[in-house]
Structure 1
């Protein structure tokens, strides 16, 4: 009888040990996954800040005006270049 109890306790002890090893493995795997997700989140925050900076730079009035003058050959309207249309009388 004592041999049977020792065998059952040994099997139970081995099962508990295997369960502990599996739990530690899962814990490490989940921790590594968490670290990767946090690194990806940090990279996305950096990308978002860069995009906001780019948007504010590209949307400035002076830059848009410079591009219009250089690329589209546009010029500011002056009174000398302005043509006024009047409604003709019948």
Structure 2
């Protein structure tokens, strides 16, 4: 009976240690999961913010203002437009 009791005691201690290890691993994985969820939410918020900034930066009026102010561009009109006609190549058959 002593031998059986010793074997059962060893099995009990081993299963207890295994249970502690599994519980610790489960807690660690849960913390990692929660951290990943928080990071996902932060990345989604950053994506929405950057998308809004991109839309704001790409508006027609802003592009026109930047072109006029920083690049010294102006809107084309009939007075400043020059049309170039291509001369047909000599000896070309039609």
When normalised by structure 2's length, the TM-score is 0.81
Q: Deviations over 1:13-32 (max 9, x none)?
A: 10110011001000001001
Question: Counterpart in 2 of 1:29?
Answer: 28
In the TM superposition, residue 84 of structure 1 has moved relative to its aligned partner by: 4.8
Structure 2 SS opposite 1:77: coil
Measured in 1, the distance between the counterparts of 2:48 and 2:4 equals: 65
Measured in 1, the distance between the counterparts of 2:74 and 2:49 equals: 32
Question: Counterpart in 2 of 1:53?
Answer: 52
Q: Which runs of 4+ in 1 moved over 6 A?
A: none
Structure with the larger helix share: 1
Structure 1 SS opposite 2:76: coil
In the TM superposition, residue 72 of structure 1 has moved relative to its aligned partner by: 1.2
Question: Counterpart in 2 of 1:10?
Answer: 9
* Residues 60 and 11 of structure 1: CA distance in aligned 2, closer, same or farther (over 3 Å): same
When normalised by structure 1's length, the TM-score is 0.85
